[in-house]
Structure 1
């Protein structure tokens, strides 16, 4: 597609937005959908033909073009390729969805997490986001699909060519706090147990011996330096303060020392899934 067509597409989208902005729950998703439709029309490709090229139904593409469906990043890249668009023509808009879906205070942490080579995370009451199933995330986020998609996309770091070393310690209360019903909990616990590997360590600390009960925190190693993330009652705090990190590191080592080894933890998680959630 020629650059002039790209400019025309943007002009059309901006004009269309003025008529729908008030009705849309996600202005950025609306913009993305209308860009797809406008670029498709400019290329002379019917909706059904583009859907067929992509391997999806007409309904899927229709929902995307009307701003009712948030695609995955690889789907957006496929659309760019199918429409012969300049690289980033759609992804530049797609990347803005995270800014809508994530609280402002969480975005700095997300950037650190993406670059991390090591992540150490302690969870007191809820399954860590990097381990959540989509159904558990939906229950946590009250079916806010853009937020659910953003949370699932965080897990892409687990599939990187060189993924970070991930270490999780969870209080056993995490395994008993219901989110989404028995089946969701059973599947979540089993998925968590299945995820355990040499580079993804999961340990359970019994609540009775857990030396810390004041909240969840994570320490990420980025470019050889540590940065911490601490959840509070109202927001998360990202910190690189030496004093803060010393406190978090000490807490991590203390909790880990009281946790069960990984093989025992995995057995405990599976047993809890069967005995508590079936």
Structure 2
């Protein structure tokens, strides 16, 4: 079995533990010095919790790390691609019977080609992780994926004309699977006035629906019943103004043919 990837918080917690060991302090001794519980310090060191800025400043003063731990925590948090929510969401995708996804800017990750994904993501590691997630559509009993896209998604020059053309051809091909439905919302539809960020609603056997909401910095798994229900209603509102599945495939194929390299 492959070793689980260490998260950014776990990596940071290890540095805290090394700094504490370097001062020959036990977790209990450090906890007393910063007026915290030993169990809380243990959670910091295992990446289960992060300290408040004031508490971390007191730790740094005692450990003599001169702001290193604070800077490292900020940098790792900024680079971390939210592995906590990502791991949680991958588990949801693997159990889902239905995935309702809405995108207003780019093709949904589960339907992206490798080159299209590379144009969006910052590293091959992230591209590989995204492509690995796509296996959920091919193995076992795949979920029913209903992808609702703003028409602008078909025009965004992600990666250039050639990359976009291949992506649109792939999207049209995937849309013809029995377990995948793609529908486009035209730009003159009243629903466009309500477009905001992308989201996904997952239905699970024997468990409440779960949602994922994306933003410019990171994603968030949403489990609150009222919030998930509101996203589902929004999806159905957008879908009411969408083209039919067949009309959508025709539009995607036409958009692919119109992609030309300058």
With structure 2 as the length reference, what TM-score do the two structures score?
Answer: 0.67
Number of the residue aligned with 1:106: 86
In the alignment, is the contact (CA less than 8 A) between 1:203 and 1:260 conserved in 2?
yes
Counterpart in 2 of 1:171? 150
Gap runs ≥5 in structure 2: 9-78
Whether 2:204 is the aligned partner of 1:219: answer no
Residues 1:124 and 2:118 aligned together: no
Separation in 2 of the partners of 1:164 and 1:206?
A: 26
Q: Deviations over 1:49-69 (max 9, x none)?
A: xxxxxxxxxxxxxxxxxxxxx
8 Å Cα contact 2:150/2:186 also seen in 1: yes
**SS of 1:179 mapped into structure 2:** coil
Q: Find the aligned partners of 1:101 and 1:222 in 2 and give their Cα distance.
A: 28
Q: How far apart in 2 are the matches of 1:276 and 1:145?
A: 26
How far off its partner does 1:101 sit?
7.9
Asked if structure 1 preserves the Cα contact closer than 8 Å seen for 2:162 and 2:259, the reply is no
Pairing partner for 2:216 from 233, 236, 249: 233
For residue 132 of structure 2, what is the aligned residue in structure 1? 153
Q: What is the CA RMSD across the aligned residues, in angstroms?
A: 1.9
Counterparts of 1:228 and 1:221, CA distance in 2: 9
Residue 261 of structure 1 and its aligned partner are, at CA, apart by 0.6
Equivalent position SS for 1:266: helix
Quote the offset at 1:263 in angstroms. 0.6
Structure 1 stretches of 4+ moved >6 Å = 97-101
Q: In the aligned structure 1, how far is the partner of 2:246 from the partner of 2:81? A: 34
Kept after mapping to 2: 8 A contact 1:98/1:150: no
